[in-house]
Amino acid sequence: MCIRDSSEYVVPSVISKENGICSRKESDGGSGKARYIGVILASLIVSSSAVMVAAQEGVTGWSATVADEDGEIQKIMLSDRGGAIVPILIQNDGITSIEVSLDCTGPFEAQVACPADVTVGAGQNVTVEGVISGVDVMAHPAGTTEDFQVTATVTARQGIPVALPGDTNSDDVAIEIPAIHLLSIEIDDPLGPINAGADTILRMTLSNNGNIADRASEVEVSVDCTLITVGNQISELTNREVAVGGSISANVVFEAALSHPSKYCDVEVQAISQGSGGSQTSSDDTRIEVQAATGDRDDDDVEKGDDGDGTVEVVTTGLPALGVIPSIVALFSAAMMSSRLRR
């Protein structure tokens, strides 16, 4: 039996018995120690790195986002004039103030403006505005989106410039083209006057000049002459979809009653956009000249005024007119009487 003394615990060894004689063979203790120490050092380095990263985040943590008081914004609608305001929130969670430069890019070839530099105190938040303008909303279909992007870069901490800027943060938001409802209605002028008892056809055209398909919920025609009736062809212009850049037309009949006097009659047509909820309307007008029937025209003491729409009554007296010969005789008699009186 081989007995291990206490010194064996200082340097690991292997005791073996060979030919009845106990012998001790030193193990590779130095290599084991090195591995053990290496593991400990590696653990310390990893732990130290984690602590340093956590500390660094606590000192310099910050962010730049497109957000307002309600949180991050996913989409912003342009105005009808092609502009928008983009709120940019810069949040500094660190223990030192930071100076940040902003770079903004906009959609739809827009003009974009952002503050060049922003200083944010330690533990503070600052909201600045990016401005979008100059977008031609009529050149894009309603609902089209493109991104606005902001990139923020830290250029200084606690007033000391950063040697190698590279601490950046970026965010983007979808910018949407609004729906523009723009129907227009036109009415052709008549080719000439019409006689009482006859009619004329006026062509009306409804066009869509907006950036989204639309239709007229209502088309109204008003005439200031009660003896003119309007045909129901006007219904061909209502509740029919008109594509972007498209148009529809209707030939509407205007008929003057046989008893209609000679007069100018004003006609107005108005179309209401359904897509706009009734807020967008368009109108046009023209004038119809009605001439009374031949018999009635001779009896009417009515003439057209200079302005074309008024009437002038011609008033005549009830006294008979003197003939030419009686007038001469009366003058001669008066002259003779005057001569006698002088004698």
Maximum distance among all Cα pairs of the chain, rounded to whole angstroms: 206
Instruction: Report the pLDDT value the prediction gives residue 19, as an integer from 0 to 100.
Output: 54
Query: Rounded CA gap, 21 and 16, in Å?
Result: 8
Position 8: which residue type? E
Please indicate, yes or no, if residue 19 is contained in any of the structural domains. no
Among candidate residues 125, 148, 176, the one where a domain is terminated:
176
Does one domain contain both 200 and 262?
yes
32 found inside a domain: no
pLDDT per residue as tens digits for the range 3-51: 445 444 444 444 455 555 555 554 455 555 556 555 455 554 444 443 3
Cα 303 from Cα 15, distance rounded (Å): 144
- On whether residue 40 sits in a domain, the answer given is no
Tell whether 165 and 191 lie within a shared domain.
no
**What pLDDT was estimated at residue 337?**
54
Does 228 reside within a domain? yes
Asked if 26 contacts 11 with a C-beta cutoff of 8 angstroms, the reply is yes
Check residue 8 and give its pLDDT.
Answer: 43
- 303 within domain boundaries: yes
In the structure encoding, which two tokens stand for residue 222, read together?
Answer: 């008003």
- pLDDT score, position 50: 39
Query: Which of 176, 208, 234 is the C-terminal boundary of a domain?
Result: 176
DSSP one-letter code for 290: E
Kindly state whether residues 200 and 129 are assigned to the same domain: no
Domain co-membership, 142 together with 188 = no
Residue 285 within any structural domain of the chain: yes
Q: Are residues 163 and 259 in the same domain?
A: no
pLDDT of residue 317: 27
Residues 129 and 188 in one domain: no
For tokens 């003896």, the residue is 227
Of 99, 92, 101, 91, the C-alpha closest to 59 is 92
- Give yes or no: residues 156 and 139 share one domain: yes
Q: By C-alpha distance, which of 259, 268, 264 is closest to 289?
A: 264
The answer as to whether 203 is a domain residue is yes
Indicate the residue among 116, 142, 176 that finishes a domain: 176
- Using the structure block, give the residue that is written with the tokens 């005549």: 316
Which CATH number covers residue 156?
2.60.40.10
Q: pTM surpassing 0.95?
A: no
Q: Are 167 and 244 in a shared domain?
A: no
Helix residue ranges, H only, the chain: 29-60, 294-299, 324-342
Residue 27 falls inside a structural domain: no
DSSP assignment of 221-240, as one string?
Answer: EEES-TTEEE-GGGGGGSS-
Query: In total, how many domains does the chain have?
Result: 2
Within a 13 Å sphere around the CA of 178, how many CA atoms are in the beta-carbon half?
15
Are residues 165 and 197 located together in one domain of the fold?
Answer: no
Per-residue pLDDT of the chain (343 residues; tens, 9 = 90+): 444 454 444 444 444 555 555 555 544 555 555 565 554 555 544 444 433 333 344 456 999 999 998 899 999 999 999 999 999 999 999 999 999 999 999 999 999 999 999 999 999 999 999 999 999 999 999 999 999 999 999 999 999 998 876 799 999 999 999 999 999 999 999 999 999 999 999 999 999 999 999 999 999 999 999 999 999 999 999 999 999 999 999 999 999 999 999 999 999 999 999 999 999 999 999 999 999 987 655 555 443 433 434 432 222 223 334 444 555 545 555 555 555 544 4
- Tell me how far apart the alpha carbons of residues 67 and 84 are, in angstroms, rounded to a whole number: 14
Domain hosting residue 78, numbered range? 62-176
